[in-house]
């Protein structure tokens, strides 16, 4: 949940106008996704081991729902708040209907791709437009990462609860 909270805080930071980019903003998504790999790999291995140990127990949607409901109320509140925050931050990035996405800056010239054009041509934009589009792209990236991390954390907790229940005689 800490990964998700950190990513959503970074996304919220990029949503505030006139704030400068924070240190490490460029490589932070790569580091974040690298940290998500062990979380999701551990969850997948735990679910496979649980399925081999108690055939059909972990794959039952009823058992999964019961395990989710059995989590503490604070965890429910955290998961709901993370989901709502991620959805709100993502909806803010999609509210801009210009169809432009920042692509590159070369020797003082700034380019963006026009996603409304069927050929997806690069067009030259001003520096301020480029900065705004870059910030918007990073906001979406952090929000998506935060939602993926929250989902992975929730699955990890659900399978841990199922693993605990399956171990009981």
pLDDT in tens, 42-61: 889 988 888 888 888 888 88
Model-wide pTM > 0.85: no
Average pLDDT score over residue span 7-34: 81
Q: Check pLDDT > 70 for residue 116.
A: yes
Is residue 133 within 8 A of residue 112, CB to CB? The reply is yes
Residue 93's pLDDT band, with cuts at 50, 70 and 90, is: low
Q: Concatenated DSSP letters for 121-142?
A: -EEEE-HHHHHHHHHHHHHHHH
Q: Other C-beta atoms within 10 Å of 103: how many?
A: 18
- 148 membership: H or E segment, kind and range: helix 127-166
Phi, psi of 113 (to 5 degrees): -95, 140
- Give 87's contacts (C-beta < 8 A, 6+ positions apart): 147
Which residue in 31, 45, 25, 42 sits closest to 3, CA to CA? 31
Neighbour order of strands in the sheet with 100-106: 100-106, 109-114, 122-125
Buried b (16+ CB within 10 A) or exposed e, 31-46: ebbeebeebbeebeeb
CA–CA gap between residue 144 and residue 81 (Å, rounded): 15
**How confident is the model at residue 76, as a pLDDT?**
93
């Amino acid at each position: 949940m800490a990964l998700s909270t950190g990513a959503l805080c970074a996304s919220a930071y990029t949503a505030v106008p006139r704030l400068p980019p924070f240190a490490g903003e460029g490589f932070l998504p790569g580091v974040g996704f690298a940290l998500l790999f062990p979380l999701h790999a551990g969850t997948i291995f735990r679910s496979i081991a649980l399925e081999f140990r108690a055939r059909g127990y972990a794959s039952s949607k009823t058992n999964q729902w019961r395990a989710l409901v059995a989590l503490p109320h604070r965890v429910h509140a955290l998961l709901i708040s993370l989901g709502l925050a991620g959805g709100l931050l993502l909806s803010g990035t999609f509210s801009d209907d210009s169809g432009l996405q920042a692509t590159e800056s070369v020797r003082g010239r700034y380019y963006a791709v026009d996603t409304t054009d069927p050929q997806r041509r690069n067009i030259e934009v001003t520096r301020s437009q480029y900065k705004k589009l870059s910030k918007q792209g990073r906001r979406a990236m952090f929000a998506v990462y935060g939602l993926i991390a929250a989902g992975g954390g929730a699955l990890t907790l659900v399978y841990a609860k199922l693993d605990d229940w399956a171990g009981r005689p």
